[in-house]
Structure 1
Amino acid sequence: MARVPVDQAKVDACRACAAEVADDVQHFIDRHTTVGVERTVARSYGVEGADGEGTPLSNVLVDRLHKAGHLGHGVAYFLGRALVEGAGSIQEAAEVLAYSEEADLAPGRVSAAEARGALTQATAAGLARIDGAREAREAFKARFPAGELPLKYVIVATGNIYDDALQAKAARYAGADIVAVIRATAQSLLDYVPEGPTTEGFGGTYATQENFRIIRQAADQSAEETGKYLAQTNYSSGLCMSEIAWMAAVERLDMLLNDAMYGILFRDINMQRTFVDQYFSRRIIARSGIVINTGEDNYLTTADAVEKAHTVLASQFINEAFAKRAGLVEEQMGLGHAFEINPWLEDSFLFEVAQAQLVRQIFDRHPIKWMPPTKFKTGDIFHSHVHDAMFNLAGIMTGQSIELLGMFSEAVHTPLLMDRYLSLKSARYIFGAGRHLGEEIAQWKPGGIVETRAREVLDSALELLEEVRKETIWDAIGRGAFGDVKRTRTGGKGFRGVVERHADYVNPILEALERPEAP
């Protein structure tokens, strides 16, 4: 593809600003934990099960320690102390701490070092589960040829996990490379993860560990039957971001929607909670080899895609900086952007191509996630299909890595099987017909629309990042710098679940994930 002009000095300046922004937040992260992080630690040590009302044991355990005012020591401290004092297992220790009226919930009697030492074997076992799942996934995947880029990504969302499994297999037969089981509406606001398989869900299906396992089995079966691998993705976001990352890691998922700011902006989740949770979730993701998909595309559904395109690029730099601090490599950073310019704007296609090519060049090692038009979809399914075709053409021209295919019935109802089939058929046609189109375009008109637009977006992104660096991201979000959405540092859901770490905080799982030798 003809390259757009990119001033490398400005790109470097953008990365430097983003690094300072991320460093400021990292100082906060390193001094705090959350109820979500601590529940994830408990799960990584094998704590499982739920009470008669369906409340997970990990929730009851962590909430009880939090209410007692001692969660800042880390749930691992109390589990390790119980082992030192004779508990038969971590599961037994968790049940006593969660349910027994006689349980001592105050720290003491055992040092942090002793508690940490008692968990050495369990910590190794928890990490081995992640590593074993990663090895199993890669070994299975190696048996099948990789799909041509862009990988075709579709959603299933029936509410019933068993129906989703059938639809996932149907999608693979129709040519899909990736299937996402979209979460039930508002699950991101639940401060617990349901147990077991689910058969009811509005607007989607609940993300649970058992549901992950069911889709993984169906995806693997479809790979065996068709000879092509089917990647699985879900959502590691919301109030249970890190718990879902753990579940996905041990159930061999390939991708996770995981963004540093999405929950803050679009689900009104407290920003302190979100930043701490995303760091721990990404430490798990880095170890597991999962590819993240960030959510910058959402900015263009609440803000104008022409005026605010630079906010997408600025956020991509910030997401990259956060991801690097959590140990991810570029090949795991599926940065998001979208085809959301008003289709009736003259030369809108050239603007879209300019932005897509700019992102592709700047983040050349990243598996870029390219999102379809939604904002200007209407009940006119015929025009909708054409709109998606233009999106597909821009994607193949500019070498995007992953395309979430648009559905012609986007504005009408939850897509049916036939809608998905027609979307895959259209993508197959355009990706094939335009496979080498980009390579045939040697140069854009000097000073023309595409070149000018690319320069403007990069310049504006750098200006925004310099502002965010000076005022901090806390205040930048507060004034609505991203997506035209304003949030406060102490507002939003989940704020009460943020806890300052005690000087003797114990979290051997995180310590192990942070060691440089971790893969």
Structure 2
Amino acid sequence: MTTTARPRLDLDRARVKEARQLARKVGRPVVSMARKHTTVSVERATLRLAGLGGADPDGTPWVNRLADAVRADVGLEHGVALPVWDALLRGEAEDLATLAAKAGAGSVRFRVPEGRDSTRATSASRKAVGAGLRRIDARRKERERLIAKVGDAPATPWIYLIVATGDIHEDIPQAQAAARAGADVIAVIRSTGQSLLDFVPEGATREGFAGTYATQENFRLMRAALDETSRELGRYIRLTNYASGLCMPEIAALAGLERLDMMLNDSMYGILFRDINPVRTFVDQRFSRQVHARAGIIINTGEDNYLTTADAVEAAHTVTTSQLLNEYFAKEAGLEDWQLGLGHAFEIDPDVPDSFRLELAHAMLARDLFPKAPLKWMPPTRHMTGDVFRGYLLDGFFNLVGALTGQGILLVGMMTEAVVTPWLSDRDLALQNVRYVMNAAGNLREDFRPAPGGFIERRADHVLGETIGLLDQIAHDTDAAGHPPLLAAIADGTFGLMKRPADGGRGLDGVARKSARYYNPATELLDQGAAR
């Protein structure tokens, strides 16, 4: 992806450096905490990487059955790898699937092996999980070969369009139609509530509410369909889904195995907007991002969501703060600049004086701070009133800011936002809006320069200053339990006006502090490739 690397705001580079240093200071204790803990989803993702899939007749995934049985016998704090492969080496079953079935029936017991038995289980589990990671490597190379063969999207921003009917077999023709109409990235929205399921549904699904379930089979079907359309159109169509919620690591692993190209993966979204336990979320997001790094997947972060609950002018600095934290966590996990689809949004009330100039300042600040990242620019939603003519105009302004500031991923705004789930005709009109603005503006960003010391530059500098102040405040935040300062700030409602305590939220019972004998071949192998 080509991005505009040349800064166009006269920001104080020392202040930019200070902001990043503070983000590292805030982020390091969280990474340290994540390294010391594991979760049920991390352990289940490890079993998936080793090749275990499928579900029992009741629809409970075998990875859940096996992980639950190990946990019941020896606890989660040692990891599942040593007990599972020890059982296989002891002859309890010939393969993982049979072992999971026996575990679900209660006919096998697990132990944490010692001595030579532990060494053998370590070697066997590392070999099995390593094979899964090599399959992810192969899918990444497959993507590269296909892009080289059929061609890529001709220019940025990539046009990102959502489909999700609840029925994967209805999603496919809609996604293909969207690609033919000009979309470069297809996002399949997950069914409402899936982020709160502590299991990944199995198979192709035909029922979902306001979205379609994320499953391995649904990933496979949509990827195959978009590959067909890519060959037809002569440009590679990218596929996006959601690595978030209680099964974030597992969905990341499945995305790598099925060659998805982007995944929504924000460090704090699940905490703030789904009330998932903060410790669980940060442990899961680090593992999932390591998988994304290995798979060559671009992450999309969710800062735009803060502006749906907080004022877009007053809370602008919380977006920039979160972007800097997301950047730190992503790079620590091994992601590169080209994989950082950092989020921001066009959400200022259009009745605010100079609202367009303020939006431009915020977008230029993001572009200047992250010149090599394919920023994900989100359209207006909060102030869409149901007046489709006004909404269409607002989307045009949004597209113009995207053109002026060189955004990398542009989510298509719908004039019927807040009215109905968009029809195909609505999507066609929205794509026409994008095409008109992008074609008419051309490379206007080469000519556009805000006045030195003018309104736009002053606003960007002000937001940067507030960001530095907030990061410094967070770095010195404390609580009685001794949690990392960022967790204390989240508990105080710093982001999105949501107060989420570190010892509350969904999924806390699925977190365990690692014992001295903990072993996980997936984290070991992924850590070897993670940036320090």
TM over 0.5: yes
User: Cα distance, 1:77 vs. partner?
Assistant: 1.0
Secondary structure, counterpart of 2:239 in structure 1: strand
Secondary structure, counterpart of 2:501 in structure 1: coil
Secondary structure, counterpart of 1:155 in structure 2: strand
Q: Alignment partner for residue 449 of structure 1, among 451, 455, 465?
A: 455
Q: Alignment partner for residue 312 of structure 1, among 312, 319, 324?
A: 319
1:50 and 2:45 are equivalent in the alignment = no
Q: Is the Cα–Cα contact under 8 Å of residues 157 and 181 in structure 1 kept in the other structure?
A: yes
- Residue number in structure 2 paired with 1:59: 64
- Residue number in structure 1 paired with 2:9: 4
User: Cα distance, 1:446 vs. partner?
Assistant: 3.0
Q: Distance in 2 between matches of 1:278 and 1:27?
A: 13
Q: Report which stretch shifted further, 194-203 or 503-512.
A: 503-512
Q: Is the Cα–Cα contact under 8 Å of residues 2 and 438 in structure 1 kept in the other structure?
A: no
1:497 and 2:510 are equivalent in the alignment = yes
- Residue number in structure 2 paired with 1:116: 122
TM-score normalised over the length of structure 1: 0.97
Q: Is the Cα–Cα contact under 8 Å of residues 343 and 377 in structure 2 kept in the other structure?
A: yes
- Post-superposition Cα deviations, 1:56-108, rounded to whole Å, max 9, x if no partner, equal 01111112223345211111112221232134223333333x22434123324
- Residue number in structure 2 paired with 1:155: 162
Show the 5 A alignment for 1:52-131.
52-86=57-91, 87-96=93-102, 98-108=103-113, 111-131=117-137
Q: Report which stretch shifted further, 72-81 or 423-432.
A: 72-81
- Post-superposition Cα deviations, 1:180-231, rounded to whole Å, max 9, x if no partner, equal 0100011101111100000111100000010011110111111111112211
1:247 and 2:260 are equivalent in the alignment = no
1:467 and 2:473 are equivalent in the alignment = yes
Which amino acid in the other structure matches residue 138 of structure 1?
Answer: E
- Post-superposition Cα deviations, 1:12-50, rounded to whole Å, max 9, x if no partner, equal 111111112211011111111001101101111111111
- Residue number in structure 2 paired with 1:237: 244
- Residue number in structure 1 paired with 2:172: 165
- Residue number in structure 1 paired with 2:31: 26
1:132 and 2:138 are equivalent in the alignment = yes
Q: Distance in 1 between matches of 2:490 and 2:7?
A: 35
Secondary structure, counterpart of 2:386 in structure 1: coil
- Post-superposition Cα deviations, 1:125-149, rounded to whole Å, max 9, x if no partner, equal 1111110111111111222133311
TM-score normalised over the length of structure 2: 0.95
User: Cα distance, 1:512 vs. partner?
Assistant: 0.7
1:198 and 2:201 are equivalent in the alignment = no
Q: Distance in 2 between matches of 1:2 and 1:319?
A: 21
Q: Distance in 1 between matches of 2:520 and 2:154?
A: 40
Secondary structure, counterpart of 2:353 in structure 1: coil
Q: Report which stretch shifted further, 363-372 or 135-144.
A: 135-144
Q: Is the Cα–Cα contact under 8 Å of residues 2 and 439 in structure 1 kept in the other structure?
A: no
- Residue number in structure 2 paired with 1:181: 188
- Residue number in structure 1 paired with 2:480: none
- Residue number in structure 1 paired with 2:490: 477
Q: Alignment partner for residue 519 of structure 2, among 503, 506, 510?
A: 506
Q: Distance in 2 between matches of 1:341 and 1:192?
A: 37
1:280 and 2:287 are equivalent in the alignment = yes
- Post-superposition Cα deviations, 1:220-278, rounded to whole Å, max 9, x if no partner, equal 11111111221100000000101000010011111000000000001110000000000
Q: Distance in 1 between matches of 2:7 and 2:107?
A: 71
- Residue number in structure 2 paired with 1:263: 270
Q: Is the Cα–Cα contact under 8 Å of residues 4 and 354 in structure 1 kept in the other structure?
A: no
Q: Alignment partner for residue 379 of structure 1, among 383, 386, 406?
A: 386
Secondary structure, counterpart of 1:249 in structure 2: helix
Which amino acid in the other structure matches residue 58 of structure 1?
Answer: V
Q: Distance in 1 between matches of 2:146 and 2:265?
A: 24
User: Cα distance, 1:336 vs. partner?
Assistant: 0.4
User: Cα distance, 1:112 vs. partner?
Assistant: 3.4
1:396 and 2:409 are equivalent in the alignment = no
User: Cα distance, 1:497 vs. partner?
Assistant: 0.4
Q: Report which stretch shifted further, 446-455 or 354-363.
A: 446-455
Q: Could you tell me the percent identity over the aligned residues?
A: 51
User: Cα distance, 1:109 vs. partner?
Assistant: 5.4
- Post-superposition Cα deviations, 1:480-515, rounded to whole Å, max 9, x if no partner, equal 111111100011110100011121111111101111
Secondary structure, counterpart of 1:180 in structure 2: strand
Which amino acid in the other structure matches residue 483 of structure 1?
Answer: G
Q: Distance in 1 between matches of 2:506 and 2:188?
A: 24
Which amino acid in the other structure matches residue 459 of structure 1?
Answer: G
Secondary structure, counterpart of 1:224 in structure 2: helix
Please list every run of 5 or more consecutive structure 1 residues that lacks an aligned counterpart in the other structure: none
The runs of at least 4 aligned residues of structure 1 exceeding 6 Å deviation read none
Q: Is the Cα–Cα contact under 8 Å of residues 112 and 506 in structure 1 kept in the other structure?
A: no
Please list every run of 5 or more consecutive structure 2 residues that lacks an aligned counterpart in the other structure: 1-5, 478-484
- Residue number in structure 2 paired with 1:338: 345
- Residue number in structure 1 paired with 2:20: 15
- RMSD between aligned alpha carbons? 1.5
Q: Distance in 2 between matches of 1:185 and 1:499?
A: 28
Q: Is the Cα–Cα contact under 8 Å of residues 74 and 112 in structure 2 kept in the other structure?
A: no
Aligned residues: 516
Which amino acid in the other structure matches residue 500 of structure 1?
Answer: R
Q: Is the Cα–Cα contact under 8 Å of residues 70 and 107 in structure 1 kept in the other structure?
A: no
Secondary structure, counterpart of 1:38 in structure 2: helix
Secondary structure, counterpart of 1:370 in structure 2: strand
1:428 and 2:435 are equivalent in the alignment = yes
Q: Distance in 2 between matches of 1:12 and 1:146?
A: 33
Q: Distance in 2 between matches of 1:113 and 1:432?
A: 62
Q: 1:4 to 1:93 in 2, by over 3 A?
A: same
- Residue number in structure 2 paired with 1:223: 230
Q: Is the Cα–Cα contact under 8 Å of residues 404 and 444 in structure 2 kept in the other structure?
A: yes
User: Cα distance, 1:121 vs. partner?
Assistant: 2.6
Q: Is the Cα–Cα contact under 8 Å of residues 158 and 203 in structure 1 kept in the other structure?
A: yes
Secondary structure, counterpart of 1:106 in structure 2: coil
User: Cα distance, 1:2 vs. partner?
Assistant: 8.0
Q: Distance in 2 between matches of 1:416 and 1:162?
A: 17
Q: Distance in 2 between matches of 1:288 and 1:150?
A: 22
Which amino acid in the other structure matches residue 229 of structure 1?
Answer: Y
User: Cα distance, 1:517 vs. partner?
Assistant: 8.7
Q: Distance in 1 between matches of 2:170 and 2:265?
A: 25
User: Cα distance, 1:6 vs. partner?
Assistant: 1.4
Secondary structure, counterpart of 1:71 in structure 2: coil
